[in-house]
Structure 1
Amino acid sequence: MIIVCQKCKTRFHLDDEATDKPSFVARCTVCGHLFSAYKPKRVQEIAFIDLERARRDEANDHVITIGNRKGGVAKTTTCFNLGVSLALNNKKVLLVDFDAQANLTLSLGLKQQPTFYDAQKAFGRPLDDFITATPYPNLWLLPSGRNMVMLNKLYFGAQHFEYMLKDRLNGIKDQFDFILIDTPPAIEFYTLNALTASNRVVIPCQCDYLSTHGVDQVLRLIALIRKRSNPQIRSRILFTMLDRNSHSSRLIFSKIKDLYAGETFDTVVEMDGALKEAQILSMPAIHYNQQSVAGAQYLGLAKEIIANPHDPIPSSS
């Protein structure tokens, strides 16, 4: 293991067996500074039901990741409201909360539910045992919770870690018409697993200048995933929180749409007070207020996704 003096930044190589304590006090032999050091945790080997199948099988078009490197662009809001909208179109929908912050789970008013981490620890049990019904017809949830953070700590960097979610979803994907995966605003264990498991990506993009950077980072990551583990993956950008009364918002919307011509949804989700009020009450917009503009637009997005199941893969990839 490597420890670093916090004062002079000298690096020291110590044998992993030098101590069995998770933390200890060390003295720098260069500057004499006393500092706290921590023994690194080694990643755990991943046990799979069928690794070869997980690597061989193509991810289904009805498994969709909602993702963006930038936070605050309505990823969870989109996952929730799109899931409800697909369910209202008589589709059986599973929402997968694959973010340790568990915002999607909380949005559904659920707490202290078994999570994907629990499913991995109880590997002999089917994933069905960890899926819970929601208050909405045709809509189910694989919840998240505090212990989900352990997945990144235990498995990130382990061999084939990016196939973990795909492997488990293989056993249940035929039970649902759509599986939507909510991801955190980061590129690590959760996002890489989600992109490997899905063939379609919805990239929510707020109409502001900085959002283009998040979109560009996700598109670069998708191109990498396409080359390494999921050649069929493709994406579309969803404009969210558009303020049509704002000149700057309309201008940025036009510029981003030109920049990513042919890679955006026709549907646009506008700023809507009813949507924000629905979030406070842990409700989807269309159930909170049937006149909600954003609620109707998420219904339109659901119809667009149902009508166009096979977006083309970019020729530049």
Structure 2
Amino acid sequence: MITFLSLFPAVVLMFIAQLGRKSRPLSWLLYFLLVMSDLLFLLAGLALLFFPAQSPLSVPQLGTLTAQDLHYMGKVLVVTGIVALLLLLPPVQWVLARFMRIRPGDPVHTYALTLAAYALGGTMSQVPLLQLLENLDQPLLTASELVGQAVAFVLLAFVGVGVGIQRSFKEACRRLGLVWPGRREVKVAVVATLFLVALQMVVGALWMALSPESLKEVDQLSKTLLGEFFNLWGALFIGLAAGISEELVFRGALQPRFGLLITSFLFAGIHVQYAMTPALLLIFLLGLVLGIVRNRTNTTAAILTHAAYNTLVVLLAIYAPNLTP
């Protein structure tokens, strides 16, 4: 529930952005709220940057963040705030429009750019917290939180394409690339999933040969994050929840506007738990493959692929760990 409540304001702002396409006052309201949010990022970052040196900060249930950790977080938040402010400027949007299918000045596209900056900066700022996760005495992910995140993502995707405002539900599904799964989608998903699992094994083997210690650290972190889901039903649950929600947002809503490469970069960027390791490259490649599946077929095939891949990787880690180093 906490995750859903933290993400729901993004859905509300997207709704305002949709209405802002037809209402100048609501459009100005959106810009005002975005400027205020950008300034909050800046102020929070500056507060962390000027946090007294040699003064650690205690995080409940996790441990202690050093002054160096806090300064890193501050720098990321300051950069995020500055970038988000720049993205509001028409000249910046005109430059981006050369590489992306966005309309400069459009409230929805403006908010999508800002939200992408928030997501990337917000997750990157949390990197210092990763080393403290091993101190948790309870699972970080729970079924209710995972469902809450999935529901928020689905709402964001549908509101983002204007369901109930500019499009009917049927039209929104068409825009998102959703169709009823048929033989074609299943065949594509099977082939793509097998390719991704093979790719994961190759990257894992190379990673084990080059840096076994970092591989073990990420593996342990993944098990900590999975917690109660590190079993058969948990694997299926995570596969479906992430497959449906993330594909609707990234491949369904964003990719037609942001393009394959930028969307894949953002997709990799929000998986902060992998930090700067080969796993992050694997996530980027996963995003590319899912994006190609979306372009060649539809989002339904990408959902099936993502869900099957996530499920298989977790199951292999449980029942055949030697196959996925």
Instruction: Give the TM-score of the pair, scaled to structure 1.
Output: 0.29
Greater helix fraction, Structure 1 or Structure 2: 2
Point out the structure with max Rg over C-alpha: 1
Instruction: Give the TM-score of the pair, scaled to structure 2.
Output: 0.29
